[in-house]
Amino acid sequence: MTTYIVKRLGQSALVILLTISTVFVLIRMAPGDPATAFAAPNATTEDLAQIRTQLGLDGSILSQYVTFLGQLFTGDLGTSYSFRAPAFEVVLDRVPYTITLALAAVMLTAVIALPLGIWMARRADTGRETGANIVTIAAQSMPEFWSGIMLLTVFSVLLPVLPSSGFTTWSGLVLPAITVALLQVALISRLVRREMVSNLTSPYLTVARAHGIGERRLVWGYALSNSAIPVLTALGTRFAAMLNGVVVVEVVFNWPGVGSLVVRALETRDYPLIQATVLVTAALAILVQLLIDLLYPLLDPRVRLGKATAR
């Protein structure tokens, strides 16, 4: 178990290092110059060169990279150009908002998709199930900026009941969370449906029925607890993915999470901030995924970490 965790953490560190190195090189090769974003509109070439030296951007990419790595291992991610504050702290300030949005979206997804999937399983292959499928797939296929703007129009402009942007009260969470959840419901509800149908028609369920177990318990106690494993895993994986920032939705709703931060950092060519965002979100997503994998054996007795399934 400990060996497994150590191994996984080592792998994760490697993945994060590779990711951050790739990003480091790519942003410096992409067109655009942080110095122009920084300088006054009428700055001269000399001014720009001076700013570049100040920002440590005058050397080759390789020498910049070596400096960066050196700082990284002392825990220093540099100073954000635009916030003029340690990049790491700027990112950390935004993380709770992204976690809040992701958590709300995942819970909302579960609350909608679980009953819906069970309902679809019990009406498998009927017209009503097809109807539910079409609606959820339509919701999934809507671009999120579009569904987000639609929700905004309806609930904060036409019937102004919810705030349109930012996070001042908890009600500001409602619209962005719905927008993110809309994308997930189709996927998760169909997973629930598929798992439930296969469990409801499985031999063990027929045998339990033959033993006199009631229908309600067969659905909620047997089929559901056997479906829970893949469904919870999928929800956890969606959650981990959302920690990278739900970029479009955060921008549409002006949500102060890492997603909108990364857009701003890219616009201003704020290299340290981009790097810090990538590092923090990648580490977070990987940690959450590790946590899910560690919890998995608790859910599924057939799985033992680092070992083949016992027979």
Partner 1 sequence: MSRLVEVEDLQIELITARGVVRAVDGISLHVDPGETVTLIGESGSGKSTTAMGLLRLLPPDLAVLSGKAVLAGHDVIADPAAITGLRGRVAGLIPQDPMTALSPVHTVGSRLSELVRLRHKGTSRRQARLAAKELLEQVRVPDPERVLTRYPHQLSGGLQQRVLIACALAGEPELLVADEPTSALDVTVQAGVLDLLMELQERTGVAILMITHDLGVARLVSDRVHVMREGRFVESGDVEQVVDAPTHPYPKQLLAAVPRLAPKEVPA
- Residues in contact with partner 1 by CB under 8 A are 201-214, 222, 225-226, 228-229, 299-302, 309-311
Please name the amino acid found at residue 118: I
Which of residues 231 and 249 has its CB atom nearest to partner 1 in the complex? 231
What's the rounded Cα separation, in Å, for the pair 224 and 284?
30
- The SS3 call for residue 35 is helix
CA distances from 64 to 21, 44, 53, 67, 265 (A): 11, 24, 11, 5, 19
**Neighbour count for residue 111 (Cβ, 10 Å):** 12
86 beta partners: 79
The CB-of-17 to partner 1 minimum distance in angstroms stands at 38
What's the rounded Cα separation, in Å, for the pair 96 and 256?
9
The CB-of-180 to partner 1 minimum distance in angstroms stands at 30
Which of residues 158 and 310 has its CB atom nearest to partner 1 in the complex? 310
Dihedral angle of Cα 188, 191, 192, 196, to the nearest 10 degrees: 180
> How does DSSP classify residue 170?
G
> How does DSSP classify residue 86?
B
The CB-of-309 to partner 1 minimum distance in angstroms stands at 7
Which of residues 62 and 298 has its CB atom nearest to partner 1 in the complex? 298
Which of residues 7 and 217 has its CB atom nearest to partner 1 in the complex? 217
Which of residues 174 and 208 has its CB atom nearest to partner 1 in the complex? 208
Please name the amino acid found at residue 98: T
Give all strands (DSSP E) within the chain, no chain letters: none
Please state the φ and ψ torsions of residue 83, each to the nearest 5 degrees: -90, -15
The CB-of-226 to partner 1 minimum distance in angstroms stands at 6
The CB-of-191 to partner 1 minimum distance in angstroms stands at 17
Print burial letters for 166-181: b (CB count within 10 Å at least 16), e (below 16): ebeeeebbbbbbbbbb
The CB-of-231 to partner 1 minimum distance in angstroms stands at 13
User: What does 150-196 look like in DSSP terms, one character per residue?
Assistant: HHHIIIIIIS--S--SS-SSGGGGHHHHHHHHHHHHHHHHHHHHHHH
Which of residues 46 and 125 has its CB atom nearest to partner 1 in the complex? 125
The CB-of-301 to partner 1 minimum distance in angstroms stands at 4
The CB-of-207 to partner 1 minimum distance in angstroms stands at 4
Which of residues 226 and 244 has its CB atom nearest to partner 1 in the complex? 226
Which of residues 40 and 310 has its CB atom nearest to partner 1 in the complex? 310
